[in-house]
Amino acid sequence: MFKYQFRWDTVWGSFDFLMGGLQMTLVISAITLVLAMVGGLVIALLDMSRFRVLRWIGISIGEVVRNTPILVQLLWVYYVLPIVFGVRIEALVALIIGLALYQASFISEVYRSGIQSVPKGHREAAQVLGLTPLQSFNRIVLPQAIRMTLPPLASNFVQLIKFSSLGAVISVSEITRRGMELSATNFRPLETFTFIAVVYFFICWPLAMAIRFWERRLQAR
Amino acid sequence: MSSTSPLILADGITKRFGANQVLTRVSLEVLERDVVCVVGPSGSGKTTLLRCLALLEEPSEGRVVMEGVPISTPSPDKQVKAAARDVRSEIGMVFQHFNLWPHMSVLQNLIEAPIRVKKMPRDKAVAIAESLLKKVDLFEKRDAYPARLSGGQQQRVAIARALAMSPKVLLFDEATSALDPELRREVLAVMRQLAREGMTMLVVTHEMGFARHVGTRTVFMDRGEIVEAAPGSAFFDAPQTERAQRFLQQFADE
């Protein structure tokens, strides 16, 4: 039988330490989401540019980022960028840059499909009534596209909360890293990492459920 | 503009999509108060012709002329583009799939273009919109969203939206094809009323009854060409060409 003396008090004793890490996790995720939303817009604009060179750059960034592992990208940003540019990058900054770039490449697709979800006929109706292409985009396409884009953006936030745990590898002091440090001193990895997994779950799960509900309501329209 | 020049004129329009030639030197003029009905088998180029006149497609050859002024040509110059901008909203269009904007209420759908394009004060746009909604018998739906309306109601809103810009000519692209028979009737009733009021209309349709009884002229298209054109119901009573006879035969069987 499984004979193990649980010592949850080792976790409660460091509750504030771990919660401080959780705060860090959420702050990283929020900052990264904002940066990724802007970066995603830049990539989407490059993808749709009239100039072939810009299109090529946008598409290349997207393909490279989507087809290499996020962990390798983080290690690359943290260890290689400083060598190339001769500057020291804080682990936290490296994590945010790496994650933001990764998410931006997915968010650019979210934008693109949001815009494409608006039927061509809606734009044609605007055109026939005399609206300029800019008016048509601002008044007809964008409001509909944003509505379609919000749930996937929220899902990206959930993903970021989970991906930010990779920061532990480059010693960013978010909750997973703090758990590693704690278990190295209390020798209680089972309690520590179980607790951390439960924390992640109870943050991500309600968010994911809310998003699913939200998407279903949008589809019902 | 001289009163003799047609309101809108398709002048020898050829349209190719890649290697596929959809229209071949089609010429058609619509005079003021005309109700021209374009009929023909699917794939005959009717809709493409209409889209050229609505300035949604650029002709490969030929031009579109409105009241004597060219507004669409292959690779248009500055002058043509400026002319097109000027008359853009004078050519209204009603689509097969309505194309109402789903994120706006019925009223917002109607006032959007008058406010943005004509720079009309909001209350004036609302007053016009409300009177148009009464006309199509949908005043009580002014604050509803399109998804809450039946297809027939949506199409009537779409007609009102087009009328809100007081166009000189209204183009109908199979406006009733996406509707159930009982909903068609309410849309056709609105179209008939517009014709009675003297609205200039170009109607691509499969509604032979409408073409016969409401149209002032019927144009029969097949394989990208105008095969036959006759005033009023003459086309139905005495079709001249074999192709037209064969086309009409299908409806006789119904």
Residue range B106-137, pLDDT digits in tens: 999 999 999 999 999 999 999 999 999 999 99
**Mean pLDDT computed over every residue of chain B:** 94
User: How many CB atoms are located within 10 Å of the residue B122 CB?
Assistant: 10
- Whether B112 and A129 lie within 8 Å, measured CB to CB: yes
Report which residue type is found at B203: V
What pLDDT score was predicted for residue B2?
Answer: 47
C-alpha atoms less than 13 angstroms from C-alpha of A9 in its C-beta half-sphere? 2
- Whether B92 and A128 lie within 8 Å, measured CB to CB: yes
For the segment B36-95, what is each residue's pLDDT rounded down to a tens digit? 999 999 889 999 999 999 999 999 999 999 999 999 999 999 999 999 999 999 999 999
For the segment A131-189, what is each residue's pLDDT rounded down to a tens digit? 999 999 999 999 999 888 988 998 999 999 999 999 999 999 999 999 999 999 989 99
Closest CB to B88 among A125, A130, A140: A130
For the segment A97-139, what is each residue's pLDDT rounded down to a tens digit? 999 999 999 999 999 999 989 999 999 999 999 999 999 999 9
What pLDDT score was predicted for residue A105?
Answer: 93
Using a CB–CB cut-off of 8 Å, the residues of B that contact A are: 54-56, 88-89, 91-93, 95, 97, 99-103, 112-113, 116-118, 147, 158, 161-162, 165
What pLDDT score was predicted for residue A2?
Answer: 73
User: Exposed (0-12), middle (13-18) or buried (19+): which is B34, by Cβ within 10 Å?
Assistant: buried
Closest CB to A122 among B89, B92, B101: B101
Chain B residues inside the 8 Å CB shell of A121? 95, 97, 99
What pLDDT score was predicted for residue B1?
Answer: 44
| Statement: residue A92 has pLDDT above 90 | yes
What pLDDT score was predicted for residue B81?
Answer: 94
| Statement: residue A220 has pLDDT above 70 | no
Average pLDDT over residues B208-218: 94
Chain B residues inside the 8 Å CB shell of A130? 88-89, 113, 117-118, 165
pLDDT tier, A5 (very low <50, low <70, confident <90, very high otherwise): confident
What pLDDT score was predicted for residue B34?
Answer: 94
Closest CB to B99 among A125, A131, A144: A125
Chain B residues inside the 8 Å CB shell of A150? none
pLDDT tier, B252 (very low <50, low <70, confident <90, very high otherwise): confident
Closest CB to A131 among B102, B113, B147: B113
- Whether B55 and A124 lie within 8 Å, measured CB to CB: no
Average pLDDT over residues A204-220: 86
**Mean pLDDT computed over every residue of chain A:** 91
The residue of chain B nearest to residue A140, with distances taken between CA atoms, is: B101
- Give B217's strand partners: B36, B231
Nearest chain A Cα distance for residue B71, angstroms: 14
Average pLDDT over residues B243-247: 92
- Whether A129 and B99 lie within 8 Å, measured CB to CB: no
Which CA distances in Å does B118 have to A130, B41, B90, B223, B249? Answer: 9, 38, 11, 39, 47
Nearest chain A Cα distance for residue B132, angstroms: 16
Say what percent of chain B tops pLDDT 70: 98
Report which residue type is found at B84: A
Chain A residues inside the 8 Å CB shell of B119? none
Token output for B205: 């349709």
Residue B58 CB partners (closer than 8 Å, separation 6+): B52, B72, B73, B74, B75, B76
pLDDT tier, A1 (very low <50, low <70, confident <90, very high otherwise): low
d(CA B152, CA B94): 13
Closest CB to A130 among B89, B95, B97: B89
Secondary structure element (H or E) that encloses residue B10, with its range: strand B8-17
Average pLDDT over residues A51-63: 92
What pLDDT score was predicted for residue B253?
Answer: 64
- Whether A131 and B117 lie within 8 Å, measured CB to CB: yes
Closest CB to A140 among B88, B101, B158: B101
